[in-house]
Structure 1
Amino acid sequence: MTQVIRTAAELQEKVAGWKRSGILVGVVPTMGALHDGHLSLARAARAQSDRVIVTIFVNPKQFNNPEDLTKYPRTEAQDLALLEAEGVDVLFAPQPEEVYPEGFATTVSVAGVSEMLEGAKRPGHFDGVATVVSKLFGMTQAGRAFFGEKDWQQVQVVQRLVRDLNIPIKIIPCPTIREADGLAMSSRNVRLTAQDRSRAPALPNAMQHAAQSIRSGVPIAQALEEATAMIVAAGFGEVEYLELRDAETLREVSDLSRPVRLLAAAWLGDVRLIDNIDV
């Protein structure tokens, strides 16, 4: 049975006991509303760790839009049942005051890789991510952390954070899990209307089209322009960005001499979808 723990002190006491026995601890940080993408991370953690902690914390510091924070789905009882079925050892679900107690005054900021794309569109978002991830790593004392590649930029931010601050944890990126029609799984997908849900696969489809075009020699700007037009024609609203970037630094690229990633963010109704693919 999955044990629910809500305080850092109780969690650290349990983890300390595990570590005294030489047990390797894996953690999967989430904001809840779990889907099969999250569960794939739990399975990876189970395969590569002796004990698995899944955290559920809807982090207010990474929402630059208060309305988005309010609307974010919270389904802890359902999530717990899913985690028990996966054999997760601990669900760590702290209250906001446990993570950010009165007087909390520290912000962790990762320069460079956090400043473009999502960072430019959502000011303060990655400061919130870096701060809460630092807290969760300290609270759980895990040796490995598992993150989905759907949030590619987030993975790069976390990897830079760990390297720069010498945090003794190994970051394990895991492949994006998709629906049968290609849409990347996301907790926000449940907010799509039935009509918009039917349109949503146009985003990954257009991205695949752009990737194939770029690989075949079509100029990058032309391929991205054609893919953007496809997304809009499918019924999307604003395409905030569709860009080819260096896979690690996320800097702009003009050729395929280094590993690159195609990243996108677009609005469908009042839901903002993000995605990325290898090129």
Structure 2
Amino acid sequence: MGFEWTPPEVDCRKPSVARVYDFLLGGDHNFASDRELATGLLRVEPRARELARANRAFLRRAVRAVAEAGVRQFVDLGSGIPTQGNVHEVARDVDPATRVVYVDNEDVAVAHGRALLTGDDRVAVLHADLRRPADLLADPTLRNLIDLSEPVAFLLVAALHLVKDEEDPGSIVAALRDACAPGSHLVISHLTHETQPGKTAAIGRLYDRASSPAVARSQAEILRFFDGWDLLDPGLVYLPTWRPDDGTPTPDPEHSLMLGGVAHHP
């Protein structure tokens, strides 16, 4: 079912990447157009819900690891619709003083984020496009909370595969790297076509109907996003194998279709 309160600026007719993800995670911030696309996605990949949960679990493990490394500022780019286990909740389990800025270019994600996080002066929701990192980093909303002269974690979780090659996703990461202080961290998860190119191509065709594309890339292409950063162990790997909570190997981790890694700015 869809949600009862619809922000006036939200277009419910075009599928939204944020709302499709919300549906797959079991949320109710979605419309018929989103559920129709998600149904098509489930036909292509019956484990799509499991893959969405694996991505969310990677986000939580990565945030916890970065917070335990001493970072107290997080910028979540392409944050989507707030759901359980948000960045600020995970990071504040390590240090309650942590500050977080959520960034998204979709109206519904921003509207719901602001509604849910009202009253928390250490969290902000910024309506901005990660394709324009200079504008984003100069925005007063971000600057009021984030001190770029101190270590910060930039989260690009399931975000860069929504950026087409001609939009130069590498320049986005380079701008973030050049703006941050030593000790900062970068977290990326990204759709890959390494093992199941037919399936990821079908997913890409489905997302052509949505608010953003889905561009699968090779491991080597994704690895280049970490140029100038030092990757932490275990490197760029399939999501279930990045520091699993119980240390138990995951059978067939490549079925997650997503690679992820965390890096440190020397």
Larger radius of gyration: 1
TM-score (norm 2): 0.38
Higher strand content, 1 or 2? 1
